[in-house]
Each structure stands twice: as structure tokens, then as C-alpha cells.
Amino acid sequence: MDSALIPKGVKRCPMWQFLLGLGIVGAVLAWGVYAMLLCWFKGLNQTNMNDYYGFALWIWADLAVIALGGGAFFSGLLKYIIGKDELKHIINYAVLIGFICYSSALLILAIDVGQPLRSWFIFWHANVHSMLTEVAFCLSCYFSVLTIEYIPLILENRQLDKVPFFHNLSHNMHETMAVFAATGAFLSFFHQGSLGGVTGVLFGRPFGFREGLLIWPWTFFLFTWSAAAYGPTFTLLITWITEKVTRKKLVKDNVIDLLAKISGWMIFTYTIAKICDTARWINITAPGLGQSLADFYTGNDFYGYWILFAEIILGGVVPAIILVSRPLRQNPLTRVIALFLAVMGVSLNRWVMVLQVMAIPVMPFDQWVLYIPSWQEIATTILPVAYGVILIMISYRYLPVFPQEAELNPIDEEPEPSVAADADIASTDLEPAEA
């Protein structure tokens, strides 16, 4: 039965290896689920959040996976709207990764609420003055879009595709996918930006506060920009990891090179905008609120000037230079280094804008407040990672995630039974001397 579900023309690992991998990752998943249930049934006292840290580890993870999942909406925009047809060979994986990231984000929010059964309150009793309300609406809607984009891939399973209804449904959904790609890009623009806006409007938190255009602080645009820039690098990095684990070439180099090049130029322009925003904040915004640069990067052992260097230089300038430069981009080693640094850079940006904002003292009697998450928070933050690995394993095994896999990894198919029988008959007809 298992072999009948595997896409035609490709080879997969033995069933026992697959089940062993599922078991190991499943144990991690169970640990996270146990911690999640503790938070739901015993309350958020299972965490180390306090009056200073209303947002903590899993909210950072939430913002990080939403940014990294931006590869789905931006790749879809490039493929279906702008017309970069080469990306059709990686768009399935981008959608899968985006689906994992956004479903993980919703799961994290369900944990953070503490009472997930009351989550519908945010829709029924919406606070129209809160950017988080807009985030909830757009995040939920875009997850629905990603689900619609993921369904055709499921229907292309070897056995499901034999059913005429599923075959036709998948074909028709592919024909209208440009509409969903455009809708997804529109929704992503606003919820990515609103997540940045949540920090940017905090007048009482000078580290996060930003001026901007009318009601939109500069962080609104920077968050959207960074998600579009760094999201594809996460898709490329996971693709590289998948190739190393499977020991196969899954996507042709020209596809990888194109997406890396586009991402490189996006990171380049974003980094320039980020440097300009940081310079304005250092010289105008912070002094206007009675603060200086040293107030935000001294006085503690954790948040030093190194974090500013790591975010902008290591996570911005370096990967931008590598991915923009053709010789460096086409070198497998330097390209992977750039992808790792890029993912680190955008994750660090979300860490800074979530946790460092709350750690910095803003009143004369305040001190630096450092936060150490509980094991329940660590487990529930790892939970989405385990869930994502399991979904990738199942999707890769049974769905045609990589259209170029069969071409890049040809296998010797067993001869048809009739052909083998004819060969046996022919051999028996030979004379003994000829044999």
C-alpha cells in the first residue's frame, strides 16, 4: 500500500526508516503537546512571563515563523503575478513551508491566549483600534489561502489523482491559483506590517517607537519588506537541508539561483532602509524621547552592541553581498552561509523588537530585566518545529512536492512482466551452442 502512494518515478527510503524518523520526531511533538496542555489547563503561570514580559519566547517564535513563512506569498507573487515561471519547480515547497509556518503561528497564538476556546472573541468583539485585531483577521484569512494552495498538491497524490473528481478539482484550482496568490500577497502585506506597527506605536517604549507616514510607523513597512526579502531564503535553506537529508538533487540550479538572486536584491534594499531607519532613530527619535544609544546597549551582559552588529551587518549586509554577487551566489558553500546568516538576521530582528524592547528600563527607577523562559515555554516553542518536520516528511514521501525530482534522480525501473516473460521465452528458443 505504501509503494502505491509514492509518486511515480521516484524512490523513497524503506518504510521502517520512515517510521523510525516519525517516531523520534513524534516524541518531541508529544513533549510539546504535554507542555501546551499544561498551559491550557493550569494557566499561564506555567510560564515565566511577568509584568515586564507580557510577550515572551513563543511570541518571538510567532513573529519569526511568520516572517520566515513570507517565502510563500512572495514566491507566489513572483510566479503567478510577475511571471517568473521558473519558480514553478519550487513553489510547491514554498507553499508547504508557508502552510507550516502560518499554522504554527496560529497554534502559538492559541497557546498564548491561555483559553483557546475564547479565541473567537477577537473576531466577535473586535477592537478596531488595535493592530493586533487586523493581524488576527489577515493571519486567519491568509492561512485559509495557504490551505487552498496546499489542497491541489494533496490531490495530486498518486492514488487520489486517479479519481476523476479530484483530478479535475486539482486542475481547476491550479487554473485559478493566480487569484489566490494575489489575495495572499495583499493579506500578507497588511498583517506583516501590522506586526511591526504593534511595536512602532509604543510611545512609552523608546527602543521600539518609530515615527512614520500618517498612522503607520516605519516598522510597518520594514516588517513587510523583511518578510518578502528573507522569506525566500528560508525556503531555499529548507530545500538545501532536505536535499542533504535525502541525498538527492531536488531543484535545478537555475531555479535556486534565480530565487537567491531576487532575495539578495530584496535584502540589499531592505538593509539600506534598515540602516537609514536606525540612523534616524539614533539621532532624532531616541534623543527626542530623552534617551541615547548607550541606554539601549549598555548596562547588561546580554544586549550589547554586538546584537546591533549581528542583525544589520552579519544578518543583512553580508548575505546581501553574497546573494547579489553572481560568483559568490553560485558557489554552494557561500550561498548556504548567506542563507543561514539571512535566516539568523531576520529572526534576530524579531527577537530584538519583541524581547529587547521590554528588557530596557524606561523609568528612572527601573533596571534591566532579563527573561529566562520556563521549560514549558521552550517545549511549546519547539512543538511547531516538530510538527513542521513531520508534515514535511509525510508530504515529501507521498506528494509530488518537487516536480524535477524524477528528472534529476533517474531510477532503473523494473521491466514489465510481459517484457520479462518474452525475454525468458527467447532465451529458451536459443540453440545450446548459441546459448
CATH number at residue 14: 1.20.1630.10
- Using CA atoms, how far apart are residues 69 and 73, in angstroms rounded to an integer? 8
Q: Is residue 233 part of a domain?
A: yes
Sign for the CA dihedral angle at 99, 148, 8, 258 comes to negative
Strands 212-213 and 216-217: antiparallel
Q: Is residue 429 part of a domain?
A: no
pLDDT tens sequence across 107-162: 888 888 877 777 777 788 888 777 778 778 888 888 888 888 899 889 988 888 88
Dmax over CA atoms of the chain, in Å, equals: 104
Q: Is residue 171 part of a domain?
A: yes
Cell numbers linked to 212: 512614520
pLDDT value, residue 429: 45
Sign for the CA dihedral angle at 156, 98, 339, 377 comes to negative
Q: Is residue 280 part of a domain?
A: yes
Structural domain count, the chain:
1
Taking residue 137's Cβ as centre, other Cβ atoms within 10 Å add up to 17
Q: Is residue 430 part of a domain?
A: no
Q: How remote is the C-alpha of 45 from its chain's centroid?
A: 29
- Using CA atoms, how far apart are residues 415 and 393, in angstroms rounded to an integer? 29
Q: Is residue 196 part of a domain?
A: yes
Q: Is residue 416 part of a domain?
A: no
pLDDT tens sequence across 34-51: 999 999 998 888 888 887
pLDDT value, residue 396: 94
- Using CA atoms, how far apart are residues 392 and 70, in angstroms rounded to an integer? 17
Q: Is residue 432 part of a domain?
A: no
Question: Which domain does 14 fall in, by range?
Answer: 2-408
- Using CA atoms, how far apart are residues 206 and 195, in angstroms rounded to an integer? 17
Distances (CA, A) of 144 to 43, 173, 276: 29, 14, 36
pLDDT per residue, tens digit, the chain (435 aa), is 778 888 888 888 899 999 999 999 999 999 999 999 999 998 888 888 887 787 878 889 988 999 998 888 888 888 888 888 888 899 999 999 999 999 998 888 888 887 777 777 778 888 877 777 877 888 888 888 888 889 988 998 888 888 888 888 888 887 788 888 888 888 888 778 788 888 888 777 778 888 877 777 888 889 989 999 999 999 999 999 999 999 999 999 999 999 999 999 999 999 999 999 999 988 988 888 888 888 888 877 788 889 999 999 999 999 999 999 999 999 999 999 999 999 999 999 999 888 888 888 877 777 788 888 999 999 999 999 999 999 999 999 999 999 998 888 887 655 444 444 444 444 444 444 443
Cell numbers linked to 24: 523520534
